[in-house]
């Protein structure tokens, strides 16, 4: 070959190599090896629920070392579909990734699958890939059982059918339900999924081994029959708990009611409180179709026109989590002239004994002071809630002494992260029989009257007792009280309260009818029970600021008047701005770490009258 062609060949080879490097410099390298993209799974759910948009996303860490945009493709196996949003509305199969010098960016997808199966979600970019596999758990879908959720039709029958279908299902895909005893016994549960929607519901008895997962965009209201009186919706209870003791009437077990998913709208809440995963309970009377509770003349009662939304009774091993409730939407319910606002609902949840008031079964209430131990019904025979967790309930616009929950009875209960605007954040009131058993109201009552005359049983000895009760992170804002304690005739067991905050509430902790001397009790009808709680953690009782003329300089001041003449512990309304402990408070010392700021003015404000 002539020398000319040899030189030309060398030149062409050099030009080719130079051109390749020049193009790589301008446009980047497509290689997945050195200088290419990187990909890894950052996070993924352990499992998701059939027919529900995954509660957590699959998130990839992506690095693009090239100098041009690269495409991250996402694929899945089985019947699943991929979405870019938490409501599973916007389908997605790829993302465009800008050059980032290898610094990892996050890209997330959500999964929706109509089939219970195991799926793999895979990402790929420039030859790099990463994948994760997880199960889609079997679930009964409420809409598939006939509920509508889009209109004002009553969905009670469909909900009951769905609960039954879940309870008899042999597929229990949720591996660990709530603990049922001291050893931590936890059993699997079947899942009932409640999609987004508005549901009008009547009485529904929950069943054992069922986990109800309620979408964060679902709202519950009372029933849709305009001719029927509104009634409590969810019963954590056996069907005949009021007719038999626990040794005969076995409790339902292993039951959960949990908010899941992510709200489609931003929700405003106090710092430290998360409502984004919570389902909504709408207890605003003006939003209900069913009839309010009325007196004999058809006039709505001053308060308590709606019953509790849920009663927790004869159940062992339960979980209630992620609840957002509105007791009214139309402005804050100020206390009215009669001591309560007109036409507002009662507590959202009530925890009580199933045999309450059944005097043929309960005598002495396992600790009441009216009876000797030899004639008392043991606590073990109560049908009441045991081994339960109730947490993350954000309640808005509660009236008077009402609020997110009232605890009348129970053992080994854990209460965590409860917030109430208005009302009482944590109400512990045992041994309450109600006016229907008052011999001064009901001539056929089996109770003795308050002078001791009459039949064998007293109205306030009915089988309600709290023991091994633990509460933490409780807050009252612009309401009545942070904690209300009223033992009535019951000697209660261990009660522990940690981390209490009250801001612009009438009182921090109030206690009533815990006296040993009935002559000085705030209510002479209530005898000698007691709470002796322990307090710990951070206690902060904050009132409103007042100026030199004793006028409110911050709105609210006394947001609500108290609705009893209860003795008060750490009150905000003080004439001398000094800390006071009720003379009858059995513990007699302030909690460690208590701080008080910006006391309320005593002024001319009056307590509302005793009902």
Q: Report how many domains make up the chain.
A: 2
- For residue 114, give the CATH number of its domain: 2.60.40.10
| Boundary residue ending a domain (117, 137, 157) | 137
Are 198 and 112 part of one and the same domain? no
Please report where in the chains the tokens 């003791």 appear, as a residue: 245
Alpha-carbon span 234 to 216, nearest angstrom: 18
Q: What is the pLDDT of residue 331?
A: 64
Q: HSE on the CB side for 163, CA within 13 Å? A: 20
Are 218 and 255 part of one and the same domain? yes
Are 198 and 278 part of one and the same domain? yes
Q: HSE on the CB side for 255, CA within 13 Å? A: 22
Domain annotation covers residue 460: yes
| C-alpha of 73 from chain center | 39
Q: What is the pLDDT of residue 99?
A: 92
Its pTM stands at 0.84
| Boundary residue ending a domain (85, 116, 137) | 137
Domain annotation covers residue 31: no
Size of the chain, expressed as the number of residues it contains? 611
pLDDT means over runs of 10, the chain (611 residues) = 48 46 38 64 97 98 93 97 98 95 92 98 96 98 96 95 97 97 96 98 97 98 94 94 87 98 91 95 94 81 86 97 92 52 84 76 59 71 93 91 92 97 90 57 64 56 80 88 81 90 76 49 52 81 51 40 38 33 36 40 32 24
Inter-residue contact 75 to 95 (CB < 8 Å): no
Are 314 and 231 part of one and the same domain? yes
Alpha-carbon span 257 to 182, nearest angstrom: 22
Are 243 and 132 part of one and the same domain? no
Alpha-carbon span 198 to 596, nearest angstrom: 42
Domain annotation covers residue 72: yes
Domain annotation covers residue 58: yes
Nearest to 473 by CA among 522, 553, 416, 391: 416
Domain annotation covers residue 436: yes
- For residue 218, give the CATH number of its domain: 2.160.20
Give me the domain span that covers residue 409.
140-597
| Boundary residue ending a domain (118, 137, 156) | 137
**Backbone φ and ψ of 160, nearest 5°:** -60, -40
Domain annotation covers residue 26: no
For 543, the 3-state DSSP assignment is coil
Helix (H), strand (E) at residue 422: strand 410-422
Domain annotation covers residue 2: no
Alpha-carbon span 426 to 349, nearest angstrom: 11
Are 191 and 259 part of one and the same domain? yes
Are 88 and 163 part of one and the same domain? no
| C-alpha of 271 from chain center | 17
Are 295 and 410 part of one and the same domain? yes
Q: What is the pLDDT of residue 455?
A: 59
Two tokens, residue 467: 């023991």
Inter-residue contact 36 to 101 (CB < 8 Å): no
Are 95 and 234 part of one and the same domain? no
Are 115 and 213 part of one and the same domain? no
Are 469 and 587 part of one and the same domain? yes
Are 126 and 147 part of one and the same domain? no
Domain annotation covers residue 591: yes
């Amino acid at each position: 070959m002539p020398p000319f062609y040899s030189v030309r060949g060398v030149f062409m080879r050099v030009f080719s190599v130079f051109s390749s490097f020049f193009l790589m410099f301008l446009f980047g390298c497509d290689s997945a090896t050195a200088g290419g993209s990187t990909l890894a799974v950052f996070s993924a759910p352990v499992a998701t629920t059939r027919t529900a948009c995954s509660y957590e996303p699959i998130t990839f860490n992506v690095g693009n070392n090239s100098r041009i945009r690269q495409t991250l493709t996402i694929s899945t196996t089985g019947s699943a579909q991929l979405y870019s949003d938490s409501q599973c509305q916007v389908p997605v199969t790829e993302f465009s990734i800008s050059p980032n010098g290898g610094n990892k960016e996050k890209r997330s997808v959500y999964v929706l699958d109509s089939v219970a199966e195991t799926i793999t979600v895979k990402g790929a970019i420039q030859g790099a890939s990463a994948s994760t596999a997880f199960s889609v758990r079997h679930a009964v879908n409420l809409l598939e059982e006939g509920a509508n959720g889009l209109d004002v039709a009553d969905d009670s029958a469909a909900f009951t059918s769905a609960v039954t279908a879940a309870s008899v299902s042999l597929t229990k895909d949720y591996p660990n339900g709530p603990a049922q005893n001291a050893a931590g016994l936890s059993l699997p549960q079947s899942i009932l999924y409640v999609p987004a929607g508005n549901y009008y519901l009547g009485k529904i008895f929950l069943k054992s081994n069922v986990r109800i997962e309620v979408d964060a965009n679902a709202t519950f209201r009372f029933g849709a029959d305009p001719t029927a009186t509104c009634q409590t919706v969810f019963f954590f209870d056996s069907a005949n708990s009021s007719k038999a003791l626990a040794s005969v009437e076995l409790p339902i077990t292993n039951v959960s009611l949990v908010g899941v998913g992510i709200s489609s709208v931003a929700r405003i809440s106090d710092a430290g409180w998360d409502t984004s995963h919570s389902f909504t309970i709408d207890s605003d009377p003006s939003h209900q179709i069913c009839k309010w509770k009325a007196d004999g003349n058809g006039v709505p009662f001053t308060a308590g026109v709606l019953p509790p939304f849920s009663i927790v009774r004869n159940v062992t091993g339960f979980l209630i989590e992620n609840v957002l409730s509105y007791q009214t939407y139309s402005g804050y319910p100020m206390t009215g002239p009669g001591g309560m606002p007109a036409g507002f609902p009662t507590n959202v949840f009530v925890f009580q004994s199933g045999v309450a008031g059944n005097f043929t079964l309960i005598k002495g209430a396992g600790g009441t002071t009216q009876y000797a131990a030899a004639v008392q019904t043991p606590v073990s025979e109560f049908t009441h809630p045991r081994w339960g967790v109730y947490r993350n309930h954000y309640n808005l616009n509660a009236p008077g002494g009402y609020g997110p929950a009232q605890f009348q009875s129970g053992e080994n209960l854990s209460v965590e992260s409860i917030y109430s605007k208005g009302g009482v954040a944590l109400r512990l009131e045992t041994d309450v029989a109600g006016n229907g058993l008052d011999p001064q109201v009901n001539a056929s009552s089996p109770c003795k009257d308050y002078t001791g005359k009459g039949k064998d049983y007293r109205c306030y000895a009915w089988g309600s007792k709290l023991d091994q009760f633990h509460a933490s992170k409780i807050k009252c804002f612009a309401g009545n009280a942070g904690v209300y304690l009223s033992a009535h005739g019951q000697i209660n067991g261990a009660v522990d309260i940690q981390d209490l905050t009250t801001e612009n509430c009438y009182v921090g902790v109030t206690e009533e009818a815990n006296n040993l001397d009935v002559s000085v009790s705030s209510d002479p009808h209530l005898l000698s029970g007691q709470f002796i709680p322990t307090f710990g953690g951070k206690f902060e009782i904050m009132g409103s600021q007042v100026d030199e003329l004793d006028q409110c300089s911050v709105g609210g001041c006394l947001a609500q008047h108290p609705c009893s003449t209860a003795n008060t512990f750490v009150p905000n309304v003080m004439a001398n701005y000094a800390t006071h402990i009720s003379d009858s408070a059995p513990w007699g010392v302030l909690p460690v770490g208590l701080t008080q700021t910006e006391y309320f003015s005593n002024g001319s404000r009056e307590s509302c009258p005793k009902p």
